[in-house]
Amino acid sequence: MTVKIRELQEKDLFNGFLESLDSLRKASDLTPKKAKTIFKKIKSISDHMIYVAVYDSKIIGAATIFIEPKFIHDGGKVGHIEDVVVSKKHQGEGTGEKLIKALISYAEKKGCYKTVLDCTDEIVPFYKKLGFKHFSNSMRFDHRSKK
């Protein structure tokens, strides 16, 4: 199985990309207009990259990284990985590993001194296999919707 990893393109939005995000939170119900608006906003942000995994002309996975410049570490940079997904049908075939390796490579090229991510306990072994180490606890504050 040959999977190509590349940057997200607008044509990918309704070719499996938004559907793949549904395993994290419903995204495939976005209207084309709203999806394109979000895509353009993300593309306008420097050092915010979304990679997709393409198999047989369809998106089967995706992962996001953004680079945060810091005052500490002499103005160093941190890579933040988010929204890593692979379609259930294609899990266990190495697609997630290819996506993560592409993000790590991107972070290295951008001069990051570390790359971090949050994950659930059951996925920890996957990330440890790729060289990630448990370092600290993740905390979050959920803001209420203002709708």
pTM: 0.91
Residue 106 falls inside a structural domain:
yes
Find, among 61, 65, 115, 70, the residue nearest to 92 by Cα. Answer: 61
Residue 146: the pLDDT is: 59
Residue 140: the pLDDT is: 84
HSE-CB of 98 using CA atoms within 13 angstroms: 21
Residue 71 falls inside a structural domain:
yes
**pLDDT tens-digit map of 36-49:** 999 999 999 999 99
Token pair in block for residue 10: 């607008």
Q: What is the CATH number of the domain that holds 58?
A: 3.40.630.30
Residue 54 falls inside a structural domain:
yes
Residue 70 falls inside a structural domain:
yes
Supply φ then ψ for residue 66, to 5 degrees: -130, 150
**pLDDT tens-digit map of 74-118:** 999 999 999 999 998 999 999 999 999 999 999 999 999 999 999
**Distance (Å, whole) CA 55 – CA 38:** 24
Structural domain span for residue 95: 4-129
Supply φ then ψ for residue 32, to 5 degrees: -55, -40
Residue 9 falls inside a structural domain:
yes
**Distance (Å, whole) CA 67 – CA 54:** 24
Are 35 and 18 contacting, i.e. CB atoms less than 8 angstroms apart? Answer: yes
DSSP at 145: P
The SS3 call for residue 59 is strand
Residue 12 falls inside a structural domain:
yes
Scan for tokens 């089967």, then name that residue: 60
